[in-house]
Amino acid sequence: MNLDPTNSPVSGPAIPPKSHTVPANPRANNRYDKAVAQQELAKAIGNANDVLATATTVFPFTLFPDTISIDRSKVSIAHRNFFRVAEVMSIRIEDILNVTVDVGPFFGSLVISTRFFDNDNRKPYKVNYLSRPDALKIKRIIQGYVIATQQQIDCSSLSTQELATMLDQLGQGQGSTEDMR
């Protein structure tokens, strides 16, 4: 008499028993996971710190100049209150909703609207007293990056200079009157 249920004529085809795979060395899996995590982080870092553009506020109007810089993953604004004292805020490109610029004959102000507003006064982030060309260039690059991100364009293969130039062109748009002289 055959008591093996996998070969029983009543139960139909043979069903192999479930196998539970237990790693021979749990530490080996931990090392593998760590190596994979390191590779993924290295890939994410890649060229993330390459600065595409930077601008500083004009000295006589701001005693301690503020700085705005754009890299491949974020926009950073350093607001200085005193020598070697700064409040640095970073905004992911994905979180930027809109960027506008107010320009006069010599200076410009950059206004960045994000998903998350400034907690103190619930207003968009603003950088005043940038030179006019710097304000316009920063606006075009940020706007171009926002458009590229929304269209899910992978910009990682472009060099820093190529990316900055192409984002500047994309952010300018057709029929733009912002560079009127």
Three-state DSSP state, 165: helix
Output the CA angle 82-132-60, nearest 5 degrees.
35
- Give the mean pLDDT of the chain: 79
C-alpha to C-alpha distances, 3 to 7, 8, 11, 15, 17, nearest whole angstrom: 8, 8, 12, 14, 15
- Structure confidence by residue, pLDDT tens digits, 93-150: 999 988 999 999 999 999 998 887 655 556 788 899 999 999 999 999 999 999 999 9
Instruction: Give the domains, in start order, of the chain with CATH numbers.
Output: 51-172 (2.30.29.30)
Return the residue matching tokens 């090392």: 31
